[in-house]
Amino acid sequence: MTLTRRTVLKGAGAAFAALAARPVWAATELTLGDTRIFSLSDGHLTLPPEFIFAPMPKRELAPILAEHGLGDAPLTPPCNVTLMQSGDRLVLFDAGSGLSFQDSAGKLPDALDAVGLAPGDVTHVVFTHGHPDHLWGVLDDFDEPLFANAEHMIGKAEWDYWWNPNTVEEIGAERTAMAVGAKRRLEALEDAVSFFEDGQEILPGVAALATFGHTPGHMSFELRSGGDSVLVVGDAIGNHHVAFERPDWPSGSDQDQPTAAATRSRLLDRLAAERMRMIGFHLPAGGMGHVERKGAAYRFVPSQG
């Protein structure tokens, strides 16, 4: 049965309690005043190691990989979609992969169903950026918007980048399919999308933070209630190993590697200094945790697991 928004909100306590009891879908939850925040699993990706590690110095990289138990096997980063319930708003940060990217991903509709929610109950979908595992889940099997009742929100710089007809020619052959897929999905959303800029409060208690580099218009979001906050970082901090050990190194996953490295270093410094909680899209244990200094580097401390 498809739930109405009124039914969902009336039964939100039971639904979200069920979510917390299903670690396959939600590793943990946190609260900010009356706002409740959960991590839903969209599955995981399967990536060749060189997708991230190719531009890094091999000799210095080897001990970091060994410390984290990584070898030559494919990387399988989780995909954590943040769900925020605040008053009558149900907000998703990113939409997952859908069924057209990788078989191991695209599980978000199942995650919603497991906790008694339906795509039609979502009021807002807010994008960090336009890569497939964050954007492609906006369309259903019939190429219609999956979150039919939601307002879709994206940074203007990110929209302009993927909308630009030159992007598909300039992005590089290995990313051409990303550009084509992003443009097709954004065209489907054109009449249901709104734009925002760096520093703007896009929803009550939700402020956009420019974290450019992974993509030209990548955004993170500071969720705040009173003096408490959590930062949804998307792919600005893209893994729990090299990104923390050597944030200054270039990563093959980033489109503008020098800018992304500077952004990553700045974010980690702030998160560690302020002891602010964070949610990372590809970090373990649902991506929820905090950052601690580790000598001249950093480490991710999950809230659970």
- The two beta strands, 277-280 and 228-234, are parallel
Q: At what angle do helices 156-163 and 176-189 cross, to 10 degrees?
A: 120
Measured CA distances, 192 to 1, 87, 186, 188, 204 (Å): 25, 22, 10, 9, 20
Q: How far apart are CA 112 and CA 99, in angstroms?
A: 15
- Cβ neighbourhood burial of 18 (10 Å; 0-12, 13-18, 19+): middle
Half-sphere exposure of 243 (CA within 13 A, CB side): 25
**Reported pTM:** 0.91
Residue range 113-136, pLDDT digits in tens: 987 899 999 999 999 999 999 999
Band the pLDDT of 145: cuts 50, 70, 90: very high
How high is the mean pLDDT of the chain?
91
Q: How far apart are CA 216 and CA 239, in angstroms?
A: 19
Domain carrying residue 223? 5-302
Residue range 27-38, pLDDT digits in tens: 468 899 889 999
Q: If you average pLDDT over residues 229-248, what whole number do you get?
A: 98
Question: Is the per-residue pLDDT at 71 higher than 50?
Answer: yes
Question: Is the per-residue pLDDT at 295 higher than 60?
Answer: yes
Residue range 43-62, pLDDT digits in tens: 999 999 999 999 999 999 99
Structural element, H or E, at residue 55: none
**Number of domains observed in the structure of the chain:** 1
Q: Kindly state the tokens that stand for 237.
A: 């901090």
For position 133, what pLDDT does the model report? 98
Question: Is the per-residue pLDDT at 218 higher than 80?
Answer: yes
Q: If you average pLDDT over residues 14-34, what whole number do you get?
A: 59
Single-letter amino acid, residue 25: W
Q: What is the percent of the chain with per-residue pLDDT over 90, rounded to a whole number? A: 84
For position 227, what pLDDT does the model report? 85
| Whether the Cβ atoms of residue 32 and residue 224 lie closer than 8 Å to each other | yes
Single-letter amino acid, residue 215: T
Q: How far apart are CA 286 and CA 281, in angstroms?
A: 8
Question: Is the per-residue pLDDT at 9 higher than 80?
Answer: no
If DSSP codes are grouped into helix, strand and coil, which group holds residue 80? strand
CATH number at residue 278: 3.60.15.10
Q: What is the percent of the chain with per-residue pLDDT over 70, rounded to a whole number? A: 90
Q: If you average pLDDT over residues 7-19, what whole number do you get?
A: 44
Q: If you average pLDDT over residues 168-175, what whole number do you get?
A: 95
Place of tokens 């649902």: 286
